[in-house]
Amino acid sequence: MRVVVAADNAGVLLKNEVRDLLKTDERVTEVIDLGVDSPDDDRAYPIFGLAAAEKIANGEADRGVLVCGTGIGVAISANKVPGVRATVAHDSYSAERSVKSNNCQIITFGARVIGPELAKKIVTEWLGYTFDPGSPSAAKVAHITEYEQVHAAS
């Protein structure tokens, strides 16, 4: 599994902790770090939410972990990229359902909301979940995809 990570300056320290964890996980074949690299880099969160989502959409990554202050801004940004589903999930159950119910490729965290140990525990669990395309949830997710396709910008 190839995992893209990114954060703004509010999320960089948590992003780096998650990135280092991912590098030790045998299920992860590649970690793509889009930055920021330092809290001094004040580029805004949409740059990173969109860039990471593009990696998923174009097939360069399978999953993403994004961090900002709340996790909300990077999630909103990532969800603007067609085909990408991203959500904040600060608890185990939401993280599980984000994959099993919603087929989300991206999980986001707020570094001002969640501590590193809980975030890393959730990421470790989240890597183990897969979406079942034969499940009753599949038609619900397909409804979203159909909307995107009908309303795609030409």
Question: What whole-number distance in Å separates Cα of residue 126 and Cα of residue 98?
Answer: 9
Q: How far is the CB of 74 from ligand LBSJTCU2 (least distance, A)?
A: 7
SS3 86: strand
How many residues bind ligand LBSJTCU2, per CB under 6 A?
8
Q: Using CB under 6 A, which of 28, 72, 118, 144 touches ligand LBSJTCU2?
A: 72
104 is catalytic: no
45/131 with CB nearer ligand LBSJTCU2 = 45
73: contact with ligand LBSJTCU2 by CB under 6 A: yes
- The window from 12-20, 63-71, 79-87, 124-132 that contacts ligand LBSJTCU2 (CB under 6 A) reads 63-71
Question: What whole-number distance in Å separates Cα of residue 104 and Cα of residue 127?
Answer: 12
Q: Contacts with ligand LBSJTCU2 in 12-51 (CB under 6 A)?
A: 45
Q: Using CB under 6 A, which of 3, 5, 10, 66 touches ligand LBSJTCU2?
A: 10
Q: Using CB under 6 A, which of 14, 48, 70, 95 touches ligand LBSJTCU2?
A: 70
**DSSP H or E stretch at residue 47:** helix 45-57
Beta bridge partners of residue 2, listed in sequence order: 30
Question: What whole-number distance in Å separates Cα of residue 4 and Cα of residue 21?
Answer: 13
Q: Are 90 and 131 in contact (CB under 8 A)?
A: no
Residue indicated by tokens 């997710």: 141
Question: What whole-number distance in Å separates Cα of residue 142 and Cα of residue 25?
Answer: 31
Kindly list the catalytic residues: 68
Where along the sequence are the contacts to ligand LBSJTCU2 (CB under 6 A)? Answer: 8, 10, 45, 68-70, 72-73
